[in-house]
Structure 1
Amino acid sequence: MLVVVFLAAVFAGLLQRSSSLHAPFPMTEPQKVPCLGGATPQTHAWQRYHVRYYSMTLLFIAFEMEMMFMYPWAVVFIEEGAKAMVEMGMFLAIL
Structure 2
Amino acid sequence: MTEPTSRGPVPGPPRPGPHLMPRAVAEETVDPSAVTDTVMALLAQVDEIRQATGDGFDAAALARQTELLEHAHEALTHALEDVDPR
Give me the TM-score of the superposition, normalised by structure 2: 0.39
Structure whose residues are more often helix by fraction: 1
Give me the TM-score of the superposition, normalised by structure 1: 0.36
Structure with greater contact order relative to length (CA < 8 Å, sep ≥ 6)? 2
